[in-house]
Amino acid sequence: MALERVARKIPASLWNVASEKLIDLVLNSPNASKMPSDLAKTILYYWQRDQLATEVGLQRVLEASMILEPEKAITLMEELGLPAIVVMLRETL
Amino acid sequence: MKEVFFVVEFGIEFVPRDLYWKTTFYAIQAEKIGFDYLWITDHFNNRNVYVSLAIASAYTERIKFGPGVTNPYLIHPGVTAQAVATLNEIAPGRVVCGLGAGDRTTLQMLNLEQSKPLQTIRESVKIIREITSGKPLEMQGEIFKVDGATLNFKITSPIPIFIGAQGPKMLELAAEIGDGVLINASHPKDVENAMTFIGKGIEKAGKQLSDSDISAYTSFSVASSYDKALKAVIPVVAYIVAGSPKIILERHEIPVEVADKIREAIVHGQWKEAFILVNAEMVEAFSICGTPETCVDKIQKLLKVGVNQIVAGSPIGPNMRKSINMIATEVFPHLKK
């Protein structure tokens, strides 16, 4: 729930780039086996429908990133120039 | 680069070594960018091919898919018929069945002998075809005996059988009895040679070449630089060299004793020892490897020889997602209208 709130704060203009980078993070993570199967299936559902760069899709990808690669996900948000998101994500750890 | 377009379909092969959701993610991506076929390999030590295909089929809508390839030494053809028929219920009209004599190296791990491959494949095709056609099968073969086998459910559409082949006799048989041939080759010289035997098989069956789908099932690695693509392809080439018949090794001037050494190393899990024996000549002979431009050039050479499907087989590239996108943006536009 907390992460859904965080994702909502990401500006729509950055949904595409954030989604792309987070997906790479998730797919190439050495911790990929930590992905909950239900979350994986939800991501596949949104991917099939080209909705990973929408608010709901991004929420799920962010959730997966925070499970698999929390520090890298936070760094990525810093790189995207989203300090408020970084603070909110740190609070979820 | 000169644009020469052919009537061609593209397949992609995944090895379910990865987590199921990753394979499915890439399957969705492959469908989105325009691949026509999805092939998933069948090795006992990876994730199960039919489970992988079932979930991929649930998240895709158009792409045709099937085992690429299964083998009758590990899985009885009656069970293969059941599996592809069940998949056909999930995705009617999209299922194909790839069958071959199996990967010698993996079969060796289970102490399974690849005995009488030609007869085994011939009988297996009959079993799969008859059972999936819904007819009860009686067969007293040399390899398989079947007494009235039939499925307890209906099949709504035919399931084409593609046969994976590399050696001359298997290529001929594949063309004779298969709906399609998956030529295990990445080099135009091998495909050109294969077409001779495919022609014989087609003639024997009284068919036309246009009746069959002739595919080059390649080992494919595309990246922004040759070195990156090379690093990804070496393990796959090691497996191919290890499993290649003597005649093919000799065609590419690869010493049989080196191939034997690679096979022994793989069987004993000595990967580093196996991979270090793979050289540039082996990579050229057994893969399409390099930048998009290099890959397009080699694919065009294969198409000129007469195949009508190119399967981009494992590893695809050092980064699966990027490499699939690279195929979409830098390979397909030169080959697909």
pLDDT in tens, chain A (93 residues): 578 889 899 999 999 999 999 999 999 999 999 999 999 999 999 999 999 999 999 999 999 999 999 999 999 999 999 999 999 999 988
Question: Whole domain around residue A39: which residue ranges?
Answer: 2-7+15-92
**CA distance to partner chain B, nearest, from residue A48 (Å):** 6
Task: Give the count of alpha carbons within 13 A of B276, CB side only.
Answer: 5
Q: What is the pTM of this model?
A: 0.94
d(CA B303, CA B5): 9
Tell me the nearest-neighbour CA distance from B319 into chain A, angstroms: 8
Is the backbone peptide bond immediately before B315 cis, with ω within 30 degrees of 0? yes
Q: Please classify residue B101 by burial: count the beta carbons closer than 10 Å to its beta carbon, then call 0-12 exposed, 13-18 middle and 19+ buried.
A: buried
Structural tokens at position A87: 């603070």
Using a CB-CB cut-off of 8 Å, the residues of chain B touching A52 are: none
Distance in angstroms (rounded) separating the CA atoms of residues B203 and B155: 30
**Cα distances (angstroms) measured from residue B147 to each of B78, B121, B137:** 11, 19, 7
Domains annotated on chain B, with CATH: 9-233+288-335 (3.20.20.30)
pLDDT tens, position by position, B157-207: 999 999 999 889 999 999 999 999 999 999 999 999 999 999 999 999 999
| Amino acid, res. B314 | S
On whether the CB atoms of residues A23 and A73 are closer than 8 A, the answer is no
Phi then psi for B3, rounded to 5 degrees? Answer: -85, 115
Q: Which residues lie closer than 8 Å to A79 by C-beta, 6 or more apart? A: none
Beta bridge partners of B39: B13, B66
Cβ–Cβ below 8 Å for B59 and A44: yes
Question: Which among B22, B32, B319 has the least Cβ separation from residue A32?
Answer: B22
The Cα–Cα gap between A51 and B132 comes to: 38
Six token digits for residue B184:
């295990």
- What Cα–Cα distance (Å) separates residue B15 from each residue in A67, B24, B48, B222, B246? 26, 11, 10, 17, 26
Contact A23 B59 (CB under 8 A): no
- CA of B305, closest CA in chain A: separation in Å? 36
Could you give the number of structural domains in chain A? 1
Task: Supply B185's token pair.
Answer: 């080759």
pLDDT digits (tens, 9 = 90+) for B127-147: 999 999 998 999 999 999 999
Name every chain B residue with its beta carbon within 8 A of the beta carbon of A43. 21, 25
A contacts of B59 (beta carbons < 8 Å): 44-45, 47-48
Angstrom distance (rounded) from CA B160 to CA B51: 20
Q: Is some CB atom of chain B closer than 8 A to the CB atom of A47?
A: yes
pLDDT at B5 (0 to 100): 57
Residues B206-260: tens digit of each pLDDT: 999 888 899 999 999 999 999 999 999 999 999 899 988 888 899 999 999 999 9
CA distance A17 to chain B (A): 15
Cβ <8 Å between B25 and A32: no
Q: How far apart are CA A13 and CA B315, in angstroms?
A: 34
Q: Compute the count of residue pairs across chains A and B with CB atoms less than 8 Å apart.
A: 33
What does the alpha-carbon distance between residue B182 and residue B173 come to, in Å, rounded to a whole number? 12
Strand-pair category, B145-149 with B97-99? unpaired
Q: Under a CB-based contact definition with an 8 Å cutoff, are residues B84 and B124 in contact? A: no
Closest by CA position to A38, among listed B46, B38, B20: B20
pLDDT tens per residue, range B46-83? 999 999 999 999 999 999 999 999 999 999 999 999 99
Burial code (b: 16+ CB inside 10 Å, e: under 16) for B80-92 equals bbbbbbbbbeebe
